[in-house]
Structures are given as structure tokens and as C-alpha cells.
Amino acid sequence: MRLDKFLKVSRLVKRRTVAAELCQGGHVKINGNTAKPAAEVKPDDLLQIRFGNRLVTVKVVQVPEKAVPAQLADTLYTLLEEKTLESSL
């Protein structure tokens, strides 16, 4: 599954266009490498997503064939770390 679609289906990002913009801006990494929106997501991949001054790290548990109900969205990944990045001001 494409990275931007996985971010949307897993409810890590609200809209697919926002997910694509995050990827194009270099805010999403797969296994430590900056990823484009069309990058393929596989089980056991580590995703790092930077939302402003927050860094969220998740491990992909499963990749669905299609969209899943909201109640099952958080079963697609395991949250490993969520931290606030220090401001350099």
C-alpha cells in the first residue's frame, strides 16, 4: 500500500492530501529514509512522522487491502514513541 494511503487508512493523518504533503516536505521516514508519498509500506516497517514540533514513531503491524473501520485503525500499527522536539528559538 502507498505510504500516503496507509497514513490516511490508519488515521495517523486526517486526509490523504495532507499525508502526501508531509511526505513531499520530507517529514515522513520509513526505516530511517525519507519517503515519498508513493513509497510502499510493509509490515514491520518503522515510520517516523514529524508534525510541527512533535515526532511520532510507529511500527507497522499489518497493511490492509482496503480501508478499515475507525475502530480497527489503531490495530494497523504500534506506537513506539511520541516526543516533543525542542525549539531552537
Residues 4-28 have pLDDT tens digits of 999 999 999 999 999 999 999 999 9
**pLDDT tier, 87 (very low <50, low <70, confident <90, very high otherwise):** low
- By percentage, how much of the chain surpasses pLDDT 70? 97
Q: What are the structural domain ranges in the chain?
A: 3-84
% of the chain exceeding 90 in pLDDT: 89
Would you state the CATH architecture of domain 3-84? Roll (3.10)
Q: What's the count of helices (H) and strands (E) in the chain, helices before strands? A: 2, 5
Beta bridge partners of 49: 28, 56
Confidence tier at 88 by pLDDT (50, 70, 90): low
